[in-house]
Structure 1
Amino acid sequence: MLAVQPVSTIAAHQLLVFLLQVGSLLLLAFVLGRLATRCGLPAIVGELCAGVLMGPSVLEQVAPGFSGWLLPRDPGQFHLLDATGQIGVLLLVTITGAHMDLSLVRRRGSTAVRISVAGIAVPLVLGVALGFLLPTSLVLGERPVFALFLGIAMGVSAIPVIAKTLMDLRLLHRNVGQLTLCAVMFDDIVGWLLLSMVSAMATTGFRAGDLAFSVGWLIVVVISAVLLRPVVAAGLRTAARAPGNGPTVTVVVVLALLASAATQAMGLEAVFGAFVAGVVIRACGALDQEALAPLQTFVVAVLAPVFFATAGLRMDLTALADPVVLLTGLGVLAAAVFGKFAGAYLGARLSRLGHWEGLALGAGMNARGVIEVIIAMVGLRLGVLGTEMYTIIILVAIVTSLMAPPILRATMSKVEQTSEEDLRARAFGIDGQRTAGA
């Protein structure tokens, strides 16, 4: 009889360091995230800062010995932390997709599409053009792939940040708030599609045949999502009949991970599969949103902060001391802000909306937050972005998210509330409260 070799386990010291890494990052992310929300900022700002403080920007400068012990350069050690964050972001994207109101997109129709197309096309074109103009020292791999990736990063918006901002400012019932959400939903769908295509190009190179192959896989994913919808609905209904929320949470997590694995195997991005899984779950109409509450709480409170803190670890703010990097960062930020405002404003004016409504839409869609952080992490993992460009893109995500609330307040104060919005306000339970634009 052949002797069976025992499966090796994680080394004791490696496990100790991993547990200390996760515990320290989560604690600091929680504290700084709460501090950020108390200051009226998105929690993601504090969570990213947790990683910045523990990364090469601060801790490595102040206590290099301790930093080298807690966050060693050993790839295997860091991959453990990375894997934890990746599970978190896949589930976060799935939950985002499961909360998309597709009927809202259908109701707002052509207006939302015009605003969305212009809102993503203008910054996308500016980003691609900028990608071809940046210094060679900041470009990794093939420049066309890098330029396309930069364009996608500048063209996306972030549903979670925008939705939270609109709720905080009591603007969700306003027409501008509804249109902003509709346009951003469409933006996100286009953004994930483009990201999957560019990721495939980064892996196989910039070749027309491979690009066509990636497009073919995208079509397969969409068709599969439609065909498998009844199966997903049946699985969710069966889980819902079981006592408690556990079975439903398990089914959702299994669907998210298998869909992510499928798109990853196709050469597309795993996050695209997670997003499609969330949209299919929502489209089934067989899921009680309250059943997702336990999963959402764990992901938002534990896994997502670890992911964002890990993202902050990879930022190196000392790189901004280089004048070339600093000027590039200012240029990318200016192009990102101008492109999103110009595109959204153009789409709004073509839809016969007013000047202030156009500016308000630009302010809302300019917030990139979570989505741009995820895209930046994908770019770093694929070798499309170096540390300098990665740091720049993360800073753009933070700055644009911070810009949204004050500009929305200022612009919406110029837009008179309609009777339709009054009715919607009462339906949303905010009747009689002062909104940011009233």
Structure 2
Amino acid sequence: MSGPALPWATPVQPMAADSLLVFLLQVGVLLLTAILLGRLAARLGLPAIVGELTAGVLLGPSLFGWLAPSAAHWLLPSDPAQMHLLDAVGQVAVLLLVGLTGIEMDLAMIRRRGATAVRVSLAGLLVPLALGIGLGHPLARLLDIGSADRQMFAIFLGVAMCVSAIPVIAKTLMDMDLVHRDVGQLTLAAGMVDDAFGWLMLSVISAMTLGGLTAGDLLHAVGSLLLVMCLAALLRGPVVRRALRLCRGSDERTVAVAAAMMLLAAAGTQALGLEAVLGAYLCGMLIGSSGEFDQVRTASLRMVVLAVLAPVFFATAGLRIDLRALREPAVLLAASAVLAVAIVGKFAGAYLGARLSRLSRWEALALGAGMNARGVIEVIVAMVGLRLGILDTRTYTIIVLVAVVTSVMAPPLLRMAMQRVDATEEETLRLVASGRMAARGSPERA
């Protein structure tokens, strides 16, 4: 008598031809539209990410879904399985983008100026958190949210105001060639602290919503974070450096192994209940500090991530925005209030932290502009709130609108501030080492 079939012995049905066709068209249309609008944004003096986000908005329910609903439903069906294929491409893109950001981090500068990053981050956390919670209660009454849910909504709104989007900040800084400037490095360092706090608070809110928070849950989250940091410090030499040394002689293998390590590190932090982005970012920093990943290999990874994967990711994020909800006066008023609080809170907090660290006024404004970008991280936070039942369609749209508007605002404000910040000798040396010098030998202006 034969036993039950082993799961790995059971043949897996291939993807249906129709599903494959729709998936290929989705990726192709999103990528082409994102490239075209990204190029248009560049011609207008904006980073490509502005056009890439706009591509998703135009192809989503705000325009294409409204003008041609039948065609939009065929190209972008509501079937979760079909959309999950597109989301999977986006997740790989964002993890490699964040990992690439970690590779280009100057850890020596962060160690020297870590206190500044912490001050900027804490101020950039506490001010918008307090303002968001304070706004949450009157906003809940305006939108007629049940009294039992108002406290949770207010806390959630405060957390949503805190986060900064490392993927958006990273792409913006890379597009503007500012990732090697001190302000760029400080923005990324402070943004990582903000996001780590945001993910921790989101875990707390999720536990409270799903049945209460125990001391064990909190200890597990903190313990997992400490474990990841210890493993990162221990594995740099015996694992990361040795793996890259085994690939010497082949740039292709080195880049492939680096990408694999970043994805595996992301899987590790995800398995521990932390965010996958954290693992990819830490692994990228280990790769960059290993001494085995030179500028040529970094450029090869940048080519794949920034030219193909990132545009698809940002365009996919824009698909989830439905601006038609703003036709309701109450929703429009609430959106205006949340947007104002989000911008003022983040700018004020980052500016205060920077000035307390004795940075110049323009450096402080540049930090505020960079950290103000909420981007896709805010979209993910909004999706979690929707899944938990804290947000409805209207409040979800409001928070996503904040993500888009602040991401579009960041590049021109950052450009304006950085034009008034002279490059230091250390930044010049960093730019020379990375190969990003203008023909006359001075750092390229963003």
- How far apart are 1:315 and its partner, in Å? 0.6
Matched letter for residue 17 of structure 1: V
Residue of structure 2 aligned with 1:259, choices 257, 260, 265: 265
Which shows bigger deviation, 244-253 or 104-113?
104-113
User: CA 1:426–1:199 in 2, change beyond 3 Å: closer, same or farther?
Assistant: closer
CA contact under 8 A between 2:110 and 2:186: conserved in structure 1?
Answer: yes
Relative distance call for 1:47 and 1:366 in structure 2 (3 A) is same
Report the Cα offset of residue 33 of structure 1: 1.3
User: Of the candidates 347, 366, 373, which is equivalent to residue 372 of structure 2?
Assistant: 366
* Alpha-carbon displacement from aligned partner over 1:229-268 (angstroms, at most 9, x marks no partner): 2233333432441x32222122222212222222222222
Distance 1:355 1:47, change over 3 A: closer
Tell me how many residue pairs correspond in the alignment: 430
TM alignment of 1:31-430, pairs within 5 A:
31-135=36-140, 147-158=154-165, 178-179=182-183, 181-199=185-203, 201-202=205-206, 205-209=211-215, 210-241=217-248, 243-353=249-359, 355=361, 357-369=363-375, 371-373=377-379, 375-376=381-382, 385-407=391-413, 421=424, 428=431, 429=437
CA deviation after TM superposition for structure 1 residue 32, in Å: 1.0
C-alpha displacement of 1:166: 6.8
Match of 2:28 in 1: 23
Q: CA deviation at 1:343?
A: 1.4
Distance in 2 (alpha carbons) for counterparts of 1:274 and 1:195? 15
Q: In angstroms, what is the RMSD of aligned CA positions?
A: 3.5
Query: Residue 363 of structure 2 contacts residue 421 of structure 2 at CA under 8 Å; is this kept in 1?
Result: no
Residue 285 (structure 1) shift: 3.3
Does the 8 Å CA contact 1:158/1:184 hold for their aligned counterparts? no
Partner of 2:434: none
**In the alignment, residue 194 of structure 1 is paired with which amino acid?**
G
Give, in whole Å, the separation in 2 of the partners of 1:48 and 1:233: 34
1:317, CA displacement in angstroms?
0.7
> Which runs of 5 or more structure 1 residues have no equivalent in the other structure?
none
AA at the equivalent of 1:192: A
Q: 1:207 to 1:169 in 2, by over 3 A?
A: closer
User: Distance in 2 between the 1:285 and 1:345 partners?
Assistant: 35
**C-alpha deviation, 1:280, in angstroms:** 2.5
SS for the counterpart of 1:134 is helix
Query: Within 2, Cα distance between the matches of 1:434 and 1:264?
Result: 39
Q: Is the Cα contact below 8 Å between 2:95 and 2:276 reproduced in 1? A: yes
Superposed displacement of residue 334, structure 1: 0.9
1:54 and 1:162 mapped to 2: Cα distance?
Answer: 23
SS at match of 2:100: helix
Secondary structure at 2:113's aligned position in 1?
Answer: helix
Q: Structure 1 residues 339-348 or 138-147, which shifts more?
A: 138-147
| Deviation string, structure 1 residues 166-185 (Cα, Å, up to 9, x no partner) | 78888889xxx624531441
SS in 2 for 1:185: helix
Give the residue type in structure 2 aligned to 1:344: A
1:205: Cα distance to partner?
4.9
TM-score normalized by structure 1? 0.83
Deviations 1:140-164 (A, max 9, x none): 9966665555434433445666577
CA shift at 1:314, angstroms? 0.9
Aligned partner letter, 1:313: L
**Alpha-carbon deviation of 1:134?**
3.0
2:19 to 1, 11, 14: 14
8 Å CA contact 2:34–2:311 kept in 1: the answer is yes
Q: Residue 244 and residue 123 in structure 1: after superposition, are their counterparts in 2 closer, same or farther (change >3 A)?
A: same
Q: Secondary structure at the match of 2:15?
A: coil
- CA 1:370–1:313: 2 relative to 1, 3 Å: closer
User: CA, structure 1 residues 360+56, in 2 after alignment: closer, same or farther (shift >3 Å)?
Assistant: closer
> CA–CA distance in 1 between the matches of 2:388 and 2:242?
34
Aligned 8 A contact 2:350 2:367 in 1: yes
CA displacement, residues 17-62 of structure 1 (integer Å, 9 cap, x when unaligned): 1111111111111111111111112222211222222211112211
What letter matches 2:397 in structure 1? T
- The CA distance in 2 between the partners of 1:131 and 1:239, in whole Å, is 54
Conservation of the 8 A alpha-carbon contact between 1:236 and 1:287: no
Q: CA 1:200–1:260 in structure 2 vs 1: closer, same or farther (change >3 Å)?
A: farther
Instruction: Give distance in 2, aligned partners of 1:249 and 1:192.
Output: 27
Compared CA separation, residues 280 and 133, structure 1 to 2 (3 A): farther
Letter in 1 for 2:97: L
Aligned residues with identical type, % of pairs: 55
Structure 2 residue ranges without an equivalent (≥5): 432-436
Q: Secondary structure at the match of 2:404?
A: helix
Distance (Å, rounded) in 2 between the aligned partners of 1:306 and 1:412: 28
Q: CA deviation at 1:293?
A: 2.6
Maintained 8 Å contact 1:33/1:43: yes
